């Protein structure tokens, strides 16, 4: 893998503008930095969040706080708590996120 994201840099998430993305229920708040073709995000899901679509994009996702349920379209579910992560390839299993009490995620895709 070649991670072409430019020279050394730091990200202060407090200064990255937030955008809101409604789910089927709840809200996702994204802070996004683009480095070349790589998107780096800090995402917060509100309590009761359920994604409004099945995603087929590849990700590396770390749960920073809270608990996340990652649901695969075939019905499998994975429960991740703070400190856990999951990975999926572009075009991999369709998946979506949900959370009962909210969660904060660090995502690279």
Alpha-carbon dihedral 50, 56, 59, 65, rounded to 10 degrees:
10
Q: How many residues in total does the chain contain?
A: 109
Output DSSP code: residue 57.
Answer: S
Domain residue limits, the chain: 19-108
Q: Report the pLDDT value the prediction gives residue 2, as an integer from 0 to 100.
A: 74
Q: Name which CATH class applies to 19-108.
A: mainly beta
pLDDT at position 74:
95
pLDDT tens-place values along the chain, 109 residues long: 678 888 899 999 999 999 999 999 999 999 999 999 999 999 999 999 999 999 999 999 999 999 999 999 999 999 999 999 999 999 999 999 999 999 999 999 9
**pTM of the complete model:** 0.92
pLDDT at residue number 57:
92
Chain centroid, CA 13 distance in Å: 15
List phi, psi (to 5°) of 15: -105, 5
Strand partners, 41: 32, 107
**pLDDT confidence of residue 1:** 60
């Amino acid at each position: 893998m070649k991670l072409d994201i430019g020279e050394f840099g730091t990200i202060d998430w407090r200064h990255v503008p937030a955008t809101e993305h409604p789910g089927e229920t709840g809200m996702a708040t994204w802070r996004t930095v683009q480095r070349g073709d790589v998107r780096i995000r800090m995402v917060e899901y509100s309590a009761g969040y359920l994604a409004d679509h099945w995603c087929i994009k590849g990700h590396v996702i770390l749960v920073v706080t809270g608990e996340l349920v990652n649901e695969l379209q075939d019905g499998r579910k994975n429960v991740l708590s703070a400190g856990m992560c999951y990975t999926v390839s572009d075009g991999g299993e369709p998946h979506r996120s949900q959370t009962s009490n909210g969660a904060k995620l660090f995502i690279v895709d």
